[in-house]
A = this chain, B = another copy of it.
């Protein structure tokens, strides 16, 4: 793509030769003369000064750090512009889907419905009464259980499982090895309960590698539209994750918890069963929520408390050691 065209698509101001050809996005320190890089933080100024990238996405303040021969794509929000450049220059998905059609080594039950343009890879299993929508991609080793529904353009990466009766919304991405719809951890004296509910994943969701979302005991476990879950995340039975919530790696949400729209939860944090985390809450990594948090704001610690209060106390305690 010509640099001038790229600048126009990104709504960025171009300082430099618009005829250069950009083939890829690359890191500042390894980018070559066909590559675009990004500079977003002051601490990378020195590396930026040595870059051999053809062009760099940058804001006004940091633009002067770049070497003279390097073109600038100046944008007030350089990180967002850089993300869009990544999407424009690398339109193919990073994990290659199987070709359209059903691989002859897949097992598709006669009562399953697979859209003609869907992709089903080798050693995939699509069980009775399951439905796979148009444009969907079912990678190798994926298991679509009986009665499960995979929406249009959804992607189930290598050996993801979407088990009995669960539903995945349009355009959602289920990462390698993720398990949607295993049996929840509701137990009583007689053992594990049957868990006859299901999981409903909304549209535009991404769920990372090896994450688990358990089916409801009765009713539904819900992942709202546009939510993003990282790898190795655990969502218990009957939990509700709000739209556009962000759950970082190894987060655990216990059964029946309700996470509000747009909540952000840092890595390895946990939320206890049946509590509510309201919209606008941001939870630090490794924090633990044991009671409902309804006021928006930043929280941390175990049990989680407003961030500011906790950090003030930690500072005071640590000063105390030297007194």
Query: Which A residues contact B (CB, under 8 angstroms)?
Result: 24-27, 30, 79-80, 83-84, 86-87, 90, 93-96, 105, 107, 121-123, 125, 127, 140-141, 143, 145-146, 157-159, 161, 163-164, 173, 175-177, 179, 181-183, 185, 187-196, 204, 206, 208-210, 212, 214-215, 217-219, 226, 228, 230-232, 234, 236, 246, 248-250, 252, 254, 267-268, 270, 272, 285-286, 288, 290, 302-303, 305, 309, 312-314, 317-318, 320-321
- Bound-state CA distance A309–B282 (Å) is 29
What CA separation (Å) do A135 and B192 show in the bound complex? Answer: 19
B140 x A143 contact (CB < 8 A): yes
A183 neighbours in B (Cβ, 8 Å) = 94-95, 173, 175, 206, 208
Residues of B within 8 A of A270 (CB): 250, 267-268, 285-286
**How distant is A256 from chain B, measured CB to nearest CB, in Å?**
11
Task: Say whether A268 contacts B249, CB under 8 Å.
Answer: no
Nearest CB of chain B from residue A137's CB, rounded to whole Å: 13
Tell me the complex Cα distance, A43–B127, Å.
Answer: 40
Question: B87 and A194: CB pair below 8 A?
Answer: yes
How far is B210's CA from A210's CA once the two chains are assembled, in angstroms?
Answer: 7
CA distance A195 to B206 in the complex (A): 14
| C-alpha gap A24/B193 in the complex (Å) | 14
B234 touches A234 (CB 8 A): no
